[in-house]
Every structure is written in structure tokens, then in C-alpha cells.
Amino acid sequence: MFEFLTPDCRKEAGVVRRWWLGFSGGLDSHVLLHLAVAAKLNQTHNLTAIHVDHNLQPEAGVWVEHCSAVCENLGVPLQVLKVAVDEGASLEAQARQARYQAFEHLMSDGDGLLLAHHADDQAETILLRLMRGSGVRGLSSIPEQRPLGKGRLFRPLLSLPRWELEQYAEQNQLNWIEDPSNSSLDFDRNYVRHQVLPELLQRWPHAVQALGRSVRFCAEAQSLNQQLAAEDLQRCSAVKSNTDHAGRGLDYNGMLSLSRDRQCNLLRFWISDQAESLPEEPQLLRILDEVITAREDAQPMVCWGHYQIRRYQGQLYLTDNRWQLPKGKVDWDLTGFRIGKGDQNNALNSGLDFEFPFGTLSAQRDDGRGIPLKMLGSVEIGFRQGGERLVIAGRQGSRSLKKLLQEAGVPPWQRSFIPLIFVDGVLAAVAGFWIVEGFQADQNQEALGFSWKPEL
């Protein structure tokens, strides 16, 4: 079946060690499964069919039985994945998201997933996205291959129109099921499939192929946009302040030398590397017109979903407001470090991470500078409550933690999320910044340091 793949896809597919194949039981996926067996993937690779049960139709159980019978006849193991879908707004999108999340969780290194999207699906997608006002990124539509989790997704039928799949199914006497929801015009895709695309094909018989070419041209344009944005990002990458704790900022002064189109292109590129969704055009323009041009003492912010664009000390930052701080302190078992570096079997000598949704706290050996191993009693992780003061090791005078973080160039929205290390109930360190007086190690003394990598 690899004759349907482009040379680039064929090269990527050549290194796959195990194949998964999305099998709904419908025409398209049945053709793909039959082709995979004809290509002997079930003999040369570990091929497993996956049926995702969304539990949205009364016939769901019958579909599972049908898929099981087909797979048994073809000698292919079947795995059924049950997913939960909220039957609220945008049922199509939620079902798709649940399905792809299930696929992603299955994928391991060296895995490939085969899906049966074809040229008509591609045409429907580009028409839908045109109605939503998508740019070249959205109009690049369905890619022939892309990373998925730890593996890679392939769509080997993407260049073939549906009528060719129907012809193949009839010639090979395949038996498939029809999802009754596919005929409902309440769903946008079905409306395009049954109402819009047939009208276009009557007037322009080669509409599907023409739309496919447009998709490829848009993909080429998007690739060029990405390359240009990567070059602009290098020029506009923010110079780090006193520390590396501020995150990946964007130097907006560097953006001022770019044309407005390149500014928008750069923002989309920079945001897409960190966020699951992009701002709509009005929000994007507000970033250019309100955030970048605001007076120096202002704190402008543009929001969409759970994301915000903020400005601080000449840099733009993307932040996420989903995360909440833990209530109270959190215990952290660091007893393994107390064994000392002489024990070669102690894996903790290389470090230990404590994962939060908003960042990673790491403990690692820092002899002569961190907290002495022998002082590590009951270790807890806490966060600012307000009013904290400390004396930094090696300095004189008590200082406000709030003031210290301001001087260190930490953006205001990150200050409450920086972990504080408590030993036997006493503040001993501010992760990634300072050891408190009385807790510092002597020269060459076995000690532990703490670093902090924010994901805000």
C-alpha cells in the first residue's frame, strides 16, 4: 500500500516497527485494513486494529462485533478503546479530540498509526476552514503525515477520491457498516459532504483534485512562513534578565523593525510553540496595537481561552491561568540523598524532580553551595503567602522576599509560583535563587541545591 505515499512519507514509514490502524468498521477504514493485510503488514510488523467506541449511538455494540468479526477473518488483532464524549456543543470536535487522545496514549517510540482519510475528506476540510476564515496554516488542512505522541501518524489514502475506495471495496466484496449520524445535516461536515461538495462537482468535476492542489500550495506557503518566522524569532529572542526564571520572552522592541505582516507571522509562530490554541485575528491585532505600544508603567494583557499575553521589562510573555497553587505545604522525601555520594548505588545523586502542572522543581547535588545533606530533616515545599522575609546566605540584613524577586527580574505573575523549601518547618531556600542564612554548606561539604523551571 505504500505506493500511495509520497517518497518522504515512505521514508518515514520505513522505520516503523509496529503499526496501529484506526478501524471504525466503515468503508474507508475497511479498505485501509484490507490494503494493509494485502501489503502483509500483519506478517512483517505487529499490526493491530483500533476501534474507538464513543458510546454515542445505540448500535455501538453491534459495530464492535462487526469490527471483531472482520479482524478475525483477516487475522488482525483488534483493540477496542472506550472514550467519554460530552454531548454538549461541538459534538464533532469533542469526539475527534477524544479519539486522537486515545490514539496518542497508545503510541510508543517506533509506532505508526494509519488512518483512512481520503481526498474527499481533504476537500471537505478545506471548505469548512474557508467558511471559518482560516489562513494558510488552517488551509494546509489534513497533513499526509505528522508526529503523534511518541510515534507518527500516516494517511496513505489521502490522494485517492472516495469513488476509488468504493470501487476497491466492491471489487473485493468488502462488507462495511454505515454510521447513521453521517447522514445528519445538523453536522457541518455532513452538510458540506451531502449538499455543498456534490453541487461543486456537478459544475467542476475535478473540484476535489483542485482543492487538493490548493492544500499543497497552502502547505508550501505555511512552510515558508515558518522558516521566515524562525529567522525573525532568532533576531527577536529576548535577552535573559538576571535569571533564567522569566521563561521564553519575546523582545518586542526587536519586532518594531519588522513589517506588520511579519509581526503577525512571528507572533503566531511563537505562540503556537507554547500553546494549544492561537488567538483570533482581533486578539492578535490587539497584541500589536495595545500591548506592545502601551506606556512603560502599564501592565497590558490580551486574553483568549486560558492564555494571556503579558508584557514585562521589554519582553512579551505567554502565560496560562489554568494552574492553581497547592493548599498548604507538600512533603518531599529526599532521604535518598542522605546516603552520600560515596554510595555508587544511590541513583538520587544525579537528581530528583518534583513535577507541578506549572513547572518542575529539581533537587541535585551542589556540594559546598547548597543545603548540607546532614541538615535535611523533614523537607516540605511551600509557596508565598505574603510578608516573607529572609537573610540570604553570605549577605547581611533581612529582606522582603517580594522585593528580592522584583530585583531578580521575575515577572509578577510568576512570583507566587516559585517553590519555597522548608526544612523542619523553617524556610531554608527559594528554589532556583537563594539559600537562607544558617542553611548554607561549608566549602566541599556534601550539599543539595534546588532549581526551578516554570511552565507558566
Listed residue (250, 261, 180, 243) closest to 431, CA to CA: 243
Which grid coordinates are listed for 429? 531556600
Task: Please indicate, yes or no, if residue 161 is contained in any of the structural domains.
Answer: yes
First to last CA, the chain: 45
Indicate the pairing of strand 330-331 with strand 301-304. unpaired
CATH of the domain at 243: 1.20.59.20
* Max CA separation in the chain (angstroms): 86
Q: How far apart are CA 389 and CA 350, in angstroms?
A: 31
What are the start-end ranges of the E strands in 189-277? 250-251
**Are 139 and 282 members of one domain?**
no
Nearest Cα residue to 347 out of 360, 370, 364, 372: 364
Please tell me the predicted confidence (pLDDT) of residue 238.
Answer: 57
Which SS3 state, helix, strand or coil, does residue 79 take? strand
The whole-number mean pLDDT for each consecutive block of 10 residues of the chain, a chain of 456 residues, reads 60 82 95 91 84 84 93 94 75 83 91 94 95 91 89 92 95 91 87 95 95 93 95 78 57 90 95 89 93 85 92 88 84 68 39 83 90 88 90 88 90 89 93 92 90 83
3-state helix, strand, coil in the chain (%, to 5): 40, 20, 40
Q: Pick from 262, 296, 320: which residue ends a domain?
A: 320
Q: Do both 127 and 163 map to the same domain? A: yes
Shared domain check, 160 and 79: yes
Integer Cα distance of 111 and 106 in angstroms: 9
Question: Is residue 206 classed as helix, strand or coil in its secondary structure?
Answer: coil
Please give the pLDDT value at position 21: 96
Say if strands 352-356 and 359-365 run parallel, antiparallel, or are unpaired: antiparallel
pLDDT of 348: 39
Domain match, 38 and 107 both: yes
pLDDT tens digits for range 83-126: 887 766 577 778 888 899 999 999 999 899 999 999 999 999 99
On whether residue 243 sits in a domain, the answer given is yes
Q: Which domain does 397 fall in, by range?
A: 330-454
Are 196 and 230 contained in the same domain?
no
Grouping H, G, I as helix, E, B as strand and the rest as coil, residue 361 is: strand
CB atoms within 10 A of CB 262: 16
Residues 164, 289, single domain; the answer is no
Asked whether residue 325 is assigned to any structural domain, the reply reads no
Q: Assess if residue 1 is contained within a domain.
A: no
Task: State the total domains in the chain.
Answer: 3
pTM value is 0.75
Q: What is the pLDDT of residue 69?
A: 95
Q: CA-to-CA distance for 250 and 264, rounded, in angstroms? A: 13
In a shared domain, residues 334 and 311: no
| Cβ–Cβ under 8 Å, residues 360 and 354 | yes
pLDDT at 241 (0 to 100): 43
Same domain assignment for residues 401 and 343: yes
How wide is the angle at C-alpha 147 spanned by C-alphas 453 and 44, nearest 5°?
130
What is 157-203 written as a DSSP string? TTTS-HHHHHHHHHHTT------GGGG-TTSHHHHIIIIIHHHHHHH
In a shared domain, residues 341 and 419: yes
Does residue 116 sit in the same domain as residue 50? yes
pLDDT for 45 equals 72
Could you tell me the CATH number of the domain that includes residue 103? 3.40.50.620
Do 36 and 92 reside in the same domain of the chain?
Answer: yes
Task: Looking at the structure, tell me whether residues 53 and 95 fall in a common domain.
Answer: yes
Rounded CA-CA distance 159/5 in Å is 9
Q: Which of 320, 342, 362 is a domain's end point?
A: 320
CA distance readout (Å), 440 to 170, 337, 421? 78, 16, 13
